[in-house]
Amino acid sequence: MDIVEDSNKLYLEVLSKEKDNVVALNNLGHNYRRQFNLKEALGLFDRAIKKDENYLTAINNKAQTLKDLKKFDEAIEFVNEKVNEKSSFVL
């Protein structure tokens, strides 16, 4: 029994009922990242951030995934865009 695969099924079940559940989107994306499905993970983080632009966990996960994809400049640009003088984020 693979706990990651089992939790993926649960997150997919939640998303079948609530397609915009940001926690399920982020957590499934995190699992996909752990399984090296980086492009799929990135899409899930984007969906979560689109629904809640201040969801710091999804923002961090997206930046980490961009780093994993060796898209360093894009990761830095993304973080700088999210963490600016107008934001309330503290890193």
Q: How far apart are the first and last CA of the chain?
A: 37
pTM of the model: 0.90
The CA distances from residue 65 to 18, 45, 56, in Å, are 24, 9, 14
70-87 core/surface letters (b: 16 or more CB in 10 A; e: else): ebeeebeebbeebbeeee
Q: Is the dihedral of CA 30, 41, 14, 49 positive or negative?
A: positive
Q: What is the pLDDT of residues 2-58, one digit of tens each?
A: 999 999 999 999 999 999 999 999 999 999 999 999 999 999 999 999 999 989 999
